[in-house]
Structure 1
Amino acid sequence: MTGTDSIRSKVVVITGGARGIGLATAVALAKLGAKIAIGDIDEKTVKESGTDYDFDHYGRLDVTDQQSFTTFLDDVERELGPIDVLINNAGIMPTGRLVDESDQITRRILDINIYGVILGSKIALTRMLERRHGHIINIASLAGETHIPGLATYNASKHAVLGFTDTLREEYRGTGVEFSSVLPTLTRTELGSGVAAPKGLPAAEPEDIAAAVVRLIAKPKAKTRVTRAAGAMSVFVNLLPQSVGDALGRSMGSAQTFLDDVDSEQRKAYEERIRND
């Protein structure tokens, strides 16, 4: 089989799969015949999404808890068979200046965005290595290739995801296990609520990220940026002298996008939820 035909019957686990990019990816892969398992810390919403879309497996998953992650993957493999693809998608993005960020939320960002990715990769990789087959896809961000005021800890977490994924790709080269990073631009999900896209670079739709993941599973590669325009801009800026790149970013509104320009009222529900889940 070639192309998307190869996705049929693959067992795919998606963390943070109850909404947003995770849910859009689950829907896209299910349409291609994959066996889908979604996990999410939000037990109510993951059950609603799993039922609405008739996914093969769904349930509560705390990506920061070793027992929760292990049990979830055990349940998936018992019901659906060996896991072919793990998509580490769960992540949070609080906004604001670092000095206003509580230690509790700093730790929460690092626990979910970094430790959750490392933990899930480790547990899945152990299983995949035994079979000499598998694919781990980590949802990073274009923020992992740059620096955006108002997202200091989030930026740090996504830089870490990129470095982690690239290192695994080399560490386990030749084992039959693939490793990929997905770098979305600002996407129209609850995570991006109340935030305007940079000038000249429209926000992506969650379906755009889902389509990129589909292409990665069909034809694995190390990294993909979404959208193409935003990805090209990110690569271009990183080739410029730092002062020039920073000035270009400021001209596109990066200095205020995640600070003074945030619509706090639109973002209120999301910010409250990620602090309380």
Structure 2
Amino acid sequence: MAKQPRVLTGKVAAITGGARGIGKETARQFAAEGMRVAIGDLDLDLAKATAEELGPNVVAFPLNVTDRGSFKAFLDGAEEAVGPIDVLVNNAGIMQLGRFLDEDDATTQRQIDINVNGVLWGMKEVLPRFLARDTGHLVNVASTAGKGGFPGGATYCGTKHFVVGVSEAVRAELRETPIEVSCVMPVVVKTELASGLQPTRGVKHIEPGDVAAEIVRALKFPKFDVFVPREVQAITTAMNVLPRRGREAIGRALKADKVLDQRDDATRRAYELRASHSEPGLEPGAQAKQLTESTPDA
């Protein structure tokens, strides 16, 4: 007998970074499934506009994922507004690119604070709620960059390796409980975060809705490894049985080593500037290599 999908109608989800991109499309598809959704974002005005666009089952809250108190307030507010949370999607993240030795300390710290601590605070705040109710599904959005290292994005790759690793460890710790954990690992997604990136051979850039659809599927048919697109899992599995030289040679043949390193910085400028102001209280930086409002386009 085929496995029956879990019913999502009436479930409550909280999504970080929900005002745009993958978070917004996930909220859209959750609402279409009959779920009630709370989106949290640093840009509250945009989050409110997104919630209004997506309909009455979506509500918006302010959220700074680098601040555990802000995360708690988000979850508390969400539960008061739409009910006990059944699903948390740790989606918020930034990707600031450049060679490792060219990266200023503020950029390094910002990516760690948002991509690593932002996931940790969400897990620490939501898992006790799940355990108290003996139900819940944690979804951590990582990246295929969490399965390999790519020049031009060393810190970003490191943060996504962390998300994969902590997700695996916590899943093992929760094995004897009904709590589900999923780790989502998409290729390059057509969002502002990926602006100016070149395609690889054989793996095309995907839409935010593609990632959202796989998250929905992982809720209906729980699984840990959620590769997007799905065929990337077979590629990753095959690569892992090869010696390092073989893996690296295939990566170069697919131009995977060029994706983050040979980007169009002029196209990325608006995103990089926004990302450099994405953590309140952390100055963008004053070093010569730090992106500022006056950075030339050329």
- TM bracket (short chain): over 0.9
Q: 1:117-165: CA deviations, max 9, x gaps?
A: 0110110001111111101000011111111111111111111111101
Q: How does 1:219-258 map to 2 (within 5 A)?
A: 219-258=221-260
Counterpart of 1:158, as a letter, is K
Stretch moving more, 69-78 or 42-51: 42-51
Greater CA drift, 117-126 or 170-179: 170-179
> Where do 1:81-230 residues align within 5 Å?
81-230=83-232
| Partner secondary structure for residue 3 of structure 1 | coil
Secondary structure of 1:7's counterpart equals coil
Question: What amino acid is aligned across from residue 20 of structure 2 in structure 1?
Answer: R
Distance 1:111 1:242, change over 3 A: same
Distance in 2 between the 1:233 and 1:204 partners? 16
The code of the aligned residue for 2:167 comes to T
State the distance in 2 between where 1:113 and 1:70 align. Answer: 17
Between the aligned partners of 1:82 and 1:88, the Cα distance in structure 2 is 17
Q: Give the Å deviation of 1:270.
A: 0.6
Amino acid at match of 2:188: L
What code does the residue aligned with 2:41 have?
D
Distance 1:76 1:101 in 2: 36
Runs of at least 5 residues in structure 1 that lack an aligned partner in the other structure: none
- Where does structure 1 differ by over 6 angstroms across 4 or more consecutive aligned residues? none
What do the CA deviations read for 1:203-262 (whole angstroms, capped 9, x no partner)?
Answer: 111111011000111111111111123332222222211001101111222232212x21
**Partner in structure 2 of residue 46 of structure 1:** 47
Taking only aligned residues, the RMSD between alpha carbons, in angstroms, comes to: 1.3
Shift of the alpha carbon at 1:18?
A: 0.7
Per the alignment, residue 281 of structure 2 pairs with none
C-alpha deviation, 1:276, in angstroms: 1.0
State the shift of 1:263 in Å: 1.0
Q: State which drifts further: 125-134 or 231-240.
A: 231-240
Structure 1 stretch 104-113 or stretch 40-49: which is displaced more?
A: 40-49
Q: State the secondary structure of the residue aligned to 2:34.
A: coil
Measure the CA separation in 2 of the matches of 1:155 and 1:235: 19
The one-letter code of the counterpart of 1:56 is V
- Give the percent of matched residue pairs that are identical in Structure 1 and Structure 2: 42
Residue 262 (str. 1) matches residue 263 (str. 2): yes
- Quote how far apart the aligned CAs of 1:2 are: 4.3
Q: Say how many residue pairs are matched.
A: 275
Conserved 8 A contact 1:7-1:218: yes
Q: CA deviation at 1:67?
A: 1.2
In structure 2, stretches of 5+ residues that fail to align are 279-298
- Whole-Å separation in 1 of the counterparts to 2:139 and 2:72: 18
| Counterparts of residues 4-43 of structure 1 (less than 5 Å) | 6-43=7-44
Q: Deviations over 1:84-140 (max 9, x none)?
A: 000000011111100111100101111111111011011000111111110100001
Counterpart CA distance in 2 for 1:228 and 1:70 is 33
Separation in structure 2 between the aligned mates of residue 229 and residue 127 of structure 1, nearest angstrom: 34
CA contact (8 A) 1:138 1:165 kept: yes
- Kindly indicate whether the alpha-carbon contact (under 8 Å) linking 2:31 and 2:58 is maintained by their aligned counterparts in 1: no
Q: TM-score normalized by structure 1?
A: 0.96
SS of the counterpart of 2:271?
helix
Counterpart check, 1:73 vs 2:75: yes
Counterpart amino acid of residue 17 in structure 1: G
Contact 1:24–1:207 under 8 Å retained in 2: yes
Contact 1:13 1:87 in 2 (8 A): yes
Find the aligned partners of 1:181 and 1:255 in 2 and give their Cα distance: 23
